[in-house]
Structure formats: C-alpha cells, structure tokens
Structure 1
C-alpha cells in the first residue's frame, strides 16, 4: 500500500515531535542562574567601571583592559533579562526577528570580547613580570587603548554573519531564537571557528602566560611568601574560571558541529536532542557566570582597591558627620611605604615592586 501525503505529513510531524529538544528541562534553574548572575554582576561591574576608570585616569595600563572588560560584561549582562524571559516561557521568542538577531549579536559578541580581553590582561601581566625592565617602553596606555579597540572591532566584524542566519528568524516557524537544533552549513562553520579561535587559542594563551608568571615569581627573591601564594592563587583561579565557564559550552559546540556531518545518525536517533540539549543549556548558563566573577577576581580582590574604597567610605562618613578625618584614620588606610625595606638589594626591591603592582594595580 502506497503511503498517502497525509501519512507522510503525519510521519514527518511525529519525527519532529520526537526530536524536539526537552525545552522544559532545567528551565527553572537556568532562569534562577541568569537572575543571580545579573543581581551580582550588575552592581559589581558598575562599581568596577568607576574604580578602573580612576586607574585609567592615572595612566595605568592594566586599568585600560579592566575598564574595557567591565563595560563588556555590562553589555553582556544587559541581554540576560531577555534570555531569562525566553527560557521561562518555554523557549518561545515573543519579539521580532530583528530583536532576536540583535540580542544574539550582543550576547555572543561580548562573550568573545571578554575572552580576548582576558588574554590581553594575562599577556600584559606576563610582559610586566617576565620582562619587567624591558616592558617599561612597551607597556604604554595608548597602545593598550589601541589593542582594546582592535579586539572590539575584530570580534564585532566577525559576528556580522549573525544577522544573515536563518536561525535568528524568530518570527517564522516555531519562534525559536538561535536554538542549536536549527543547524546549517554556516552555523557549523561558525561553531568550528568559535571553538578554535574563541576558546582553544585563548586557553593556550592563558595557560602559557600564567605558567610563565608563576615560574618567574617562584624564582623571585624580592617577593614575600604570602605574595607568591597570592599570585599563584590568582593564576590558577584565572585558568580554572575560564575552563569552568567556557569549556563545557565550546565542547558542546564542537560536538554539534561534528554531528552535522552525520545527518542520518542525527535524524534517526535524535542524538543531540536526547543527550546534549540539557547539558548545552547548562553550559550556556555557566558562560554567564564569568561576567559576575570577573570584577571580584581582577579588581575587587585588590588590596589597593579595597583601601581606595575605604578612603571613599571614610570621606562620605566624615562629610555626613561634618568633621574632618583624623590623621590616625588616614594612617590606617594608607598602604605602608616601607614594605620593601627588608630587601637587601635595591634592584630586587624595585623589580619585586613592579611585579606586585601588576596584581595590586
């Protein structure tokens, strides 16, 4: 008996239903995660933008990258309410296709700007620590501004194809916005590029530069043991945070790109939808955590920044009480200037001071 068009249509519809991703799985945890990241990351990055801008005005080279990173994270966090709403209503995009593409462009754009700025920060610290004397002519604020602008422009241009992808046509079909089940040749190539350029190469840069920093700091005789421990902790935390936030997402992107070359396996077994979609949504949520942790890891953990905040709070309290600060309070919040007096050789003290300032900017 020959199948009728109605039978074929019903079979295709049933196949599509069976292969539909489990949109409801993990919906509540993902919405809560987005909300928590926004609640922590928004005030932390707003404060960091102000604090790093003060460092930029003081001609601090590292401050340029950190200020750019804070602005990037703020833009990144700005898309979370829309994604949280999208997830909460069962992955149905309620706005236009243009809004979907623009939101996706900002979201992914700032993810990779953030990743490359993290590489810039690690490279700048590596140069300052390993080539502390030679870097005095290389580490210029104007050059840092130029590098940051180049990163933003390259990533922005690289993500322009987002506006041409049919996966962003949320007004058509099932109203999905850049769901991974909607694969194509362009999306597959895009995923390969994002894995290699946006994850693998930055990971190698972060591992290489932080290993170089650790090796140099370990040999330094000018740094105290507690300072070495802190530098070691920061280097490990930078790489670990990068892996936790970005490795799961990019590994799943790679798996999805590989599965595109085996359409029969994918269509018959619904391999991605059954086994990888929920981990994909979790990994996407983890990638947002980076924006909330960056201010704490890079800025708010600095002793100098905490002392500057203390000075600001003291000034506010003094103005509220209409009395000037006492000399004793100033002495308590000012960093000590004789911390290097115990180092016998003057050049070791100077070198150690330069190394430490790259972490206590």
Structure 2
C-alpha cells in the first residue's frame, strides 16, 4: 500500500523478472504493523465519539461543525482500511484478496488522505475568517455553503481517483500479488507526483501557515481575551502546522524526490540500489500519514469550546445517571437487608414461622 500510480498498479508475482531488485519487504514491517494498530486503537473510538459530538453542533447550525463532522467521518472511513493494510504488511506485503479488493481499498485510502488534507484547510480558513473578520463574516459563513464546499471536495477528489478502477494490474488477478507498491518511474507517474506534491501538500501547507499565523496575530492583539485563552490559541496554531508536517511532509517529500530523480537517468544497478534504499523510509512515511486520523479529534474537535462543553455535558449526564443508579441499587439493598433481618427475627422467635397469637 504505497504510491498510487497513474498508468497502472504494479502487481509483482514471485516469478517476476524484477526479483533481483526486489524491495526489502521485511524491513520496517513490525513498526509499520504496530503503527497501524495503534492508530486504529486510538482513532476508532475517538472519531466515533467526535462524529456524534460534531453532529450535535451541526444540528445547532454551527458552521465549523460541518467541516469537523465531515473530517471525523472521513477519518473513520480512512481508518476502516487499516486492518487490511496491517494484515498485508504483516504477511510480507502479500495481497491475499482479489485485484478488485486491492483497487477499492487503495481508492478509499488515498481518497480520504486528500479529502482530509483539504478539509483541514477549510477548517483553518473558516477559523481565520471567523476570528479576523468576525463582523463582516456573519453574512458569509453559512452552514449551507460549508456543506456544499465539503461535498465539492469529496466529489472532486473521488472523481480524480476513479481511473484506478480502469488500470491494468498485470498479474493482479492471480493469488499472491503486491498491492500498490511503488511503481517504476515514468513521465506520467512523475507528472502525477509533482501534482500531488504541489496541490496535495505544498498549497495546503501554505494555507495552514498563513491562516493560523493570521489567527495567532489577531488573538495576540486582542485585549478582551485572557492570557490562558491566548496560550491555547497559540498552542493550537503551532500544533496544527506541526502535525501536518509530521504526518504528510515525509511522504510527499519522497514523492518529490522520486519525481526529480526521474530526470537524471542512472545505470540500472544504481537505480535498483536507490529504489531498495528508499523503500523502507517510503513505507514508514506513508504509515505516518495515518497518524493524522487519530490526532485530529483531539487537536481540532476537543479544542472547540462548544464541543468541549458538549462533551462535559454528556459526561455529567452519564455520571448523574450512574450516581442515581448506584443510589437506587443501594436503597434496594438496604430494603432487602431490612426485610431479611425482620424475617430472621420472626423465625427465631417463632421457629414454625407462625405469627404471634396463632
């Protein structure tokens, strides 16, 4: 599960002619499986919770809630592919299912990666407009517009990846194949890598940096906010950019490096050595991109004042119900103990269990 080729998905069988240049599939296998498993264990419950909390905000006509709900739903779909990738990596990068399953899983994985990236940009832009242009934005920030923007992002990214279903997979229909391993470079793949780096990483990074810097500068100038509130905004602004760099920079930098290397032809032995040396960092960098799905709920959703209040309200209700249930159970136990004591006294006084005077 690696680079999404444009012309075809490379599916290598054991009898392939490239076995002499086979990537080191066993290297980094354990860390990658642990990474996928950890992200799934944290991200699944976190996103299930935030889908519910953000939906409550959507129902209350909160504009930012639309983007946050879409992001949580996107991350849930993204996380749904991790068990398959973890199993694939754990058995030595060998795809035991059909070619169609490989294409569908890769389609979902890569779709949601870039949908998530663009939604992160929408969230930062919406926060920037709400903070910097708080008065002017009252008529512009509408829930219907936010819903249309989120839907447009999903459709554009989904349509852009449809060609994966028409790609020729070589021997992919046979048992024991590779799924979305790094392809041999070509002019088309190189062009696609440049596009993914610029559109899917560089431009979103600039958007995140500019909007969060603007938010931070505006909040720092504000005289109506407490120091603790300003510190929280500063922490969030820095964390957003750092998280984006940690999760997506390594993968897209390697994509860029592969694209640049294509323009400098090298001997076959050197090319093979380079591909082998880049393989493990490449797989780990792609694994890092999944961390974003586990951290998003904590970073974005729980940093929202409205959603934090919603969470506290929900936890308070759960605690109240638990307290009432405990009190009810305690009362029942006291009544039962009292009845048992009274019955014991009666039976001890009257061994036959007959009432007094009988």
Interval containing the TM-score (normalised by the shorter chain): 0.7 to 0.9
Q: TM-score, normalized by length of structure 1?
A: 0.81
Cα distance in 2 between the residues matched to 1:149 and 1:164: 24
User: Structure 2 residue aligned with 1:28, among 23, 27, 30?
Assistant: 30
In the TM superposition, residue 181 of structure 1 has moved relative to its aligned partner by 3.8
Q: Cα–Cα, structure 1 residues 15 and 163, in superposed 2: closer, same or farther, change >3 Å?
A: closer
Counterpart CA distance in 2 for 1:217 and 1:168 is 56
1:65–1:117 Cα contact (<8 Å) kept: yes
- Secondary structure in structure 2 of the residue aligned to 1:276: helix
1:137 corresponds to 2:107: no
Match of 1:40 among 31, 39, 42: 42
SS of alignment partner, residue 270 of structure 1 = helix
1:101 touches 1:168 (CA, 8 Å); kept in 2? no
Instruction: Give how far 1:18 is off.
Output: 3.5
Structure 2 portions without partners, runs of 5+ = 1-14, 326-358
Q: 2:281 is matched with which residue?
A: 279
Aligned partner of 2:292 in structure 1 is 290
| Residues 303/169 of structure 1: CA separation in 2 closer, same or farther (3 Å cut) | farther
- Offset of 1:219 from its aligned partner? 1.3
Unaligned 5+ residue runs, structure 1? 1-12, 324-361
Q: 1:98 to 1:185 in 2, by over 3 A?
A: farther
TM-score (norm 2): 0.82
CA RMSD of aligned residues (A): 2.3
Residue in 1 aligned with 2:353?
A: none
Aligned residue pair count: 313
Does 1:199 find its partner at 2:201? yes
1:107 equivalent in structure 2: 109
Report if aligned partners of 1:61, 1:141 keep a CA contact under 8 Å in 2.
Answer: yes
CA distance in 2, matches of 1:21, 1:129: 49
What does the per-residue CA deviation read over 1:143-198, in whole Å, with 9 as the maximum and x for residues that have no partner?
A: 00010001101111111122233458633597111111444443333222111110
Kept in 2, the 8 Å contact 1:123–1:209? The answer is yes
Matches within 5 A, 1:312-323: 312-322=314-324
